[in-house]
Amino acid sequence: MKVELLYFDGCPNWTVADERLAEAVQLVPRDDVTVHRRKVETQEDAIAVGFAGSPTILVDEHDPFATGDEQAGLACRVYSTPDGLAGSPTLAQLVEVLS
C-alpha cells in the first residue's frame, strides 16, 4: 500500500498528520505500507496533483477523506472528525483507512 502525505510549509497541520500517520502505520497489522511525503510548492502543482489543502493524505492514489467539495490549492485543509472539525484526521480515522 502506497501512502502519500501532501503538504505545504504554509500550514502547520501537516506535522500533526505526519506524526499520527507514523503511529497509525505502526498500529495496523500490515507490512506493505510505505509512506512518502511530498511538498507542494505552487498553485500549478496543487492543481496538477489534486492537492485539496495541507495536509492531504492519499492511499494508493485515492483521497479517502474527500467529500467532493474540495478545491485544489495552497490552503490549510479541514477534516471532519468525531470531535468536530480539525486540521488533521484522528489517529483512529487513519488506522481505519490503512486497515
CATH number for 30? 3.40.30
Q: Which helix (H) or strand (E) holds 36?
A: strand 34-39
Question: Could you give the number of structural domains in the chain?
Answer: 1
> What is the domain range of residue 66?
2-98
Query: CB-hemisphere CA count at 13 Å for 61?
Result: 1
Q: What percent of the chain has pLDDT over 70?
A: 100
Beta-sheet pairing, 84-86 with 79-81: antiparallel
User: Grid coordinates representing 79?
Assistant: 477534516
| 8-state DSSP, 72 | -
Model confidence pLDDT, tens digit, residues 33-49: 989 999 999 999 999 98
Kindly tell me if the per-residue pLDDT of 71 is higher than 90: no
pTM of the model: 0.91
pLDDT band at 67 (very low <50, low <70, confident <90, very high): confident
